[in-house]
Structure 1
Amino acid sequence: MHNNDIQPLLDIMVKLRDPKTGCPWDKAQSFETIVPFTLEEAYEVADTIERMAMDELPDELGDLLFQVVFYCQLGREAELFDFGDVVDKICNKLTSRHPHVFGSLEGVSAEQVKDNWEQIKAKERSAKDLHSVLDNIPVGLPALSRAVKIQKRVARVGFDWAELGPVVDKIHEEIDEVIHEVKQEEISQDRVQDEMGDLLFAVVNLARHLGVEPEQALRQANRKFERRFRGVESLVNQAGKPMEAHTLDELDQYWDEVKLQE
């Protein structure tokens, strides 16, 4: 039987944090200590969706929801906020940001919705005394995701290339600068890292212009590499000699064989 009432979960959370009878681990947690688990659960949701494992998704979404409930219990104990406050905040935000659904605006296009959304968010930033378009971008985001947010913010005010050519040219320019640094007689690892950061930022910009989410694309590339390398390991085992005893050319041949089998 499905339960659409959040209260049982809130009650479980209260019991887990009960000072006398609660779980020692749950009682020991704080806002700060839970953050890594929240990020992990969010990535597990993303991974489940990307694998199209929809039978696993309710379980993973439950784990993520529990993170929200945990924060709300901590907020309640500190007399800062509770679950009801969180629900009120998101309901008010969604209704105010969708006047074409809940207000007087009707029959607007998707582009008009986007423009109106940006105007509303600009007003919200102004109300929060946020003066830069870069204000309020979470520093705890994965670097690739944060780079996308930074680039999208500045693009809203026209700081962006309108065509793909300059975006690609910038990547080649950054590659040249990386190579220049590694060819120095005395290599500065700090400068190499700095130039590599610029290169990655430029690649993120290309992904954004192509409508690709770089964090998702890299996770996909990781999975593909893992799958193919495991195939190489299988062929190495069949050959009957350790991987270290193979030449790189032999391993490359295994790699090509695995790719052909996909």
Structure 2
Amino acid sequence: MTKIRVKKDKNRKAKLEAFDRLLTIMDELRENCPWDKKQTIESLRHLTIEETYELSDAIIENDLEEVKKELGDITLHMIFYARIASETDSFDMADVLNAVSEKLIRRHPHIYGDVVAEDEEAVKQNWEKIKLQEKGNKSVLGGVPASLPAMVKAMRIQEKARGVGFDWEKKEQVWEKVEEEMSEFKAEHNVEHGRALNHQKAQGEFGDLLFSLINYARFIGINPEEALERTNKKFIKRFNFLETASQQDGRNIADMTLAEMDEYWEKAKKL
């Protein structure tokens, strides 16, 4: 194994001391605070999900001060889970950290072993193959959490399939698939006047269209979840302007026509 050289971390001692301080505080809270004493792994779950979304918002807004705060909250949750588990001798924080360290070593044989990985794609493929062997999954897609939001799940499914070589070769091929799915959706949606829409078929074709668009986004380096969230935030900002500006002009948005609202919308787009 090649000896790994890394730059010496001048702040390592301070980091270890800070981590030890948080561990101590967690112990004190667990033993003395009525709320902290009452918590279980199950009761913390929804709070952790909330903190994760708050971190996501801070990252999208590029608010590094807020990112720091949210990372602190999530780190606290990780320590909290480990402390609760240690009370039943299930595992503790050392077990958690050692386990993830061993996993990183196993999944980076190009760093800690003799495997050669020339680029990022080779690293990803090695990672997925090793992960599949570790977990003993019968399917490459077996490791995709069932509870993931649909768009994120689509991304993970596609990435895992790519990890074993099941993917398009060129982005042009993916775009052709997008156009094909768009045509099929239009065929189901644009039915003749007077005919009832087959919602089940239209829904299926729309799902196929979304999946192919997510695939294309992945191919050109766009995270569709982040892209959509940025559009959500942009829409909210412009709609808030519409509400505020029209109110300042003494108008009630509920009584305005679409054309009148569009005048404020165009102003919002210029801000």
TM-score normalised by L of structure 2: 0.82
Name the residue aligned to 1:122.
Answer: 129
Q: CA deviation at 1:10?
A: 1.9
% same residue? 33
Q: CA deviation at 1:105?
A: 5.4
Distance 1:157 1:97, change over 3 A: closer
Confirm or deny that 1:13 pairs with 2:23: no
CA distances 1:126-180 after superposition (whole Å, capped 9, x unpaired): 2422121101111222221111000112233443333333232144135325515
Name the residue aligned to 2:3.
Answer: none
- What pairs with 1:125-144 in structure 2 (closer than 5 Å)? 125-144=132-151
Name the residue aligned to 2:162.
Answer: 155
Name the residue aligned to 1:169.
Answer: 179
CA distances 1:236-262 after superposition (whole Å, capped 9, x unpaired): 1132120011100111111011112x2
- What pairs with 1:1-262 in structure 2 (closer than 5 Å)? 4-5=16-17, 6-18=19-31, 21-24=32-35, 26-104=36-114, 109-111=118-120, 114-162=121-169, 163-164=171-172, 165-176=175-186, 179=189, 185-186=195-196, 192-260=202-270, 262=271
Which stretch of structure 1 is more off in the superposition, 76-85 or 161-170?
A: 161-170
Q: Following the alignment from structure 2 to structure 1, what is the Cα–Cα distance between the partners of residues 203 and 260?
A: 32
Q: CA deviation at 1:221?
A: 0.8
Task: Please tell me whether the aligned partners of residues 134 and 153 of structure 1 are also in contact (alpha carbons under 8 angstroms).
Answer: yes
1:88 maps to a residue whose letter is: N
Q: CA deviation at 1:27?
A: 3.2
Q: Following the alignment from structure 1 to structure 2, what is the Cα–Cα distance between the partners of residues 157 and 208?
A: 16
Which stretch of structure 1 is more off in the superposition, 67-76 or 150-159?
A: 150-159
Q: Following the alignment from structure 2 to structure 1, what is the Cα–Cα distance between the partners of residues 159 and 58?
A: 27
TM-score normalised by L of structure 1: 0.84
Q: CA deviation at 1:88?
A: 0.3
Task: Please tell me whether the aligned partners of residues 38 and 64 of structure 1 are also in contact (alpha carbons under 8 angstroms).
Answer: yes
Q: Following the alignment from structure 2 to structure 1, what is the Cα–Cα distance between the partners of residues 148 and 191?
A: 29
Q: CA deviation at 1:84?
A: 0.4
1:22 maps to a residue whose letter is: C
Q: Following the alignment from structure 1 to structure 2, what is the Cα–Cα distance between the partners of residues 9 and 54?
A: 21
DSSP 3-state at the match of 2:138: coil
Q: CA deviation at 1:79?
A: 1.9
Q: Following the alignment from structure 2 to structure 1, what is the Cα–Cα distance between the partners of residues 43 and 208?
A: 32
> Number of aligned pairs?
255
Unaligned runs of 5+ in 1: none
Task: Provide the alpha-carbon RMSD of the alignment.
Answer: 2.7
Q: Following the alignment from structure 2 to structure 1, what is the Cα–Cα distance between the partners of residues 44 and 52?
A: 13
Q: Following the alignment from structure 1 to structure 2, what is the Cα–Cα distance between the partners of residues 174 and 81?
A: 52
1:67 maps to a residue whose letter is: H
Report which structure shows greater RCO (CA 8 Å, sep ≥6). 2
Q: Following the alignment from structure 1 to structure 2, what is the Cα–Cα distance between the partners of residues 206 and 181?
A: 27
